[in-house]
Amino acid sequence: MGGRAPAVELRLEQESKLVDLLDGAAGRRLEASGVLTTGDTFYVVFDNLPHIVALDRSLVAGAPENRLFPQERREAEGFEDIAHDPASDRFFTLIEGLPARPGTYHAKVHQYDGSLRFLRSDWLDFPLPDVNKGLEGLTCLRRNDRTCLLAVCEGNRCRSGSAGRRPGGGRIQVFTEAGRRGGWAHSGTVRLPRTLEFEDYSSISVAGDRLAVLSQASSALWIGRLRRDGAELVDEVVDDGAVFRFPTDSRGRTVYRTVEGVSWLGDDRVVVVSDKVKPGSAERSGRAKDQSIHIFTIPTAQ
């Protein structure tokens, strides 16, 4: 956020370590990277595991609804985010970037049925600057009875390195399902406000016209709206929206250092998951909050 913290802080309702909720069923290293709310269930994916986890929204340890859906390790160790299309009851997981051909990188999406059985994988038709600086967050919406996926670039202006860390260039790429033969055609770009001073982007979630964008490096959440044209959403934001920071400790230090996935819970509530703090990190204050799931209230209705 360019060194300037937003004035309003998110209010923590509830949080739990993922390993406690799963009784060790998925191991103890749980690098959570994406979360999705569907009905009474949270679905979580991980950077370091190909599996998908379902959690009861109560976040009670040992709940029978808390379970692991094992998946084969196919094209990557894990995923960046997860999305769902209610109309077709399909789930989608995002692989940040893979070599598509020599010197060219693209993100890929795995597709599952409503029981989380693997169906297929397809490329997203958008070139990436680097295999490790690709598309991070994923969400789904319907347009003209077709499934669309929205994926946020990790770096500003979809770049890597120092150029990607220069704030003011957030980009969400829009993809439309390309008929029976599969694949995802690039069909538009949502430009986030230039006033948004995030250093990176780790997840997005859309509910109606409300758009939530998460930043790990800035430890903050941006809330805005997509423009409507009748019943359809347009690929642009209405205004500058509002930024909310995650709570800090009593000394004002960042403790939510690894926020990686976000999903709407209601008009003023979101669920967030956190990755693992890197080994040897000098900032140990983040370890109490890592590998966890958190529910926050947004203080001001958007």
The model's pLDDT over 186-200, given as tens digits with 9 standing for 90+, comes to 999 999 999 999 999
The answer to whether 219 and 252 are in contact (CB under 8 A) is: no
Residue 157, φ and ψ in degrees, nearest 5: 60, 20
Query: Which pLDDT belongs to residue 7?
Result: 63
Query: Which pLDDT belongs to residue 6?
Result: 47
3-state secondary structure the chain: CCCCCCCCECEEEEEEEHHHHHCCCCCCCCCEEEEEEECCEEEEEECCCCCEEEEECCCCCCCCCCEEECCCCCCCCCCCEEEEECCCCEEEEEEEEEEEECCEEEEEEEEECCCCCEEEEEEECCCECCCCCCEEEEEEEEECCEEEEEEEECCHHHCCHHHHHCCCCCEEEEEEECCCCCCEEEEEEEECCCCCCCCCCCEEEEECCEEEEEECCCCEEEEEEEEEECCEEEEEECCCCEEEECCECCCCCECCCCEEEEEEEECCEEEEEECCCCCCCCCHHHCCCCCEEEEEECCCCC
Other C-beta atoms closer than 10 Å to the C-beta of 72 total 7
**2-6, 124-128, 155-159, 242-246: the lowest-pLDDT one:** 2-6
**CA separation (Å) from 257 to 36, 127, 204, 231, 241?**
20, 29, 17, 38, 23
How do the domains of the chain map onto residue ranges? Answer: 11-297
| Burial (CB count within 10 angstroms: exposed 0-12, middle 13-18, buried 19+), residue 10 | buried
Mean pLDDT taken over the chain: 90
Q: Give per-residue pLDDT as tens, 234-276.
A: 899 999 999 999 999 888 889 999 999 999 999 999 999 999 9
The answer to whether 290 and 278 are in contact (CB under 8 A) is: no
* Tokens representing residue 218 in the block: 């800035």
Q: Which residue(s) pair with 158 in the sheet?
A: none
The confidence band for 297, taking pLDDT boundaries of 50, 70 and 90, is very high
Query: Which pLDDT belongs to residue 28?
Result: 82
Under CATH, what is the fold of the domain 11-297?
A: Tachylectin-2; Chain A (2.115.10)
Can you tell me the distance from the alpha carbon of 97 to that of 76, in angstroms, rounded to the nearest whole number?
9
The confidence band for 133, taking pLDDT boundaries of 50, 70 and 90, is confident
Query: Which pLDDT belongs to residue 143?
Result: 86
Task: Please tell me the pTM assigned to this model.
Answer: 0.93
Q: Give per-residue pLDDT as tens, 52-111.
A: 999 999 999 989 999 999 999 888 889 999 999 999 999 999 998 898 877 788 999 999
Longest dimension (CA), the chain: 56
Q: Lay out the sheet containing 292-297: strands in order across.
A: 11-17, 292-297, 269-274, 259-266
Query: Which pLDDT belongs to residue 103?
Result: 79
* Tokens representing residue 126 in the block: 């958008």
Other C-beta atoms closer than 10 Å to the C-beta of 8 total 13
Can you tell me the distance from the alpha carbon of 55 to that of 74, in angstroms, rounded to the nearest whole number?
24
| pLDDT > 90 in the chain, percent | 71
| pLDDT > 70 in the chain, percent | 94
Query: Which pLDDT belongs to residue 189?
Result: 96
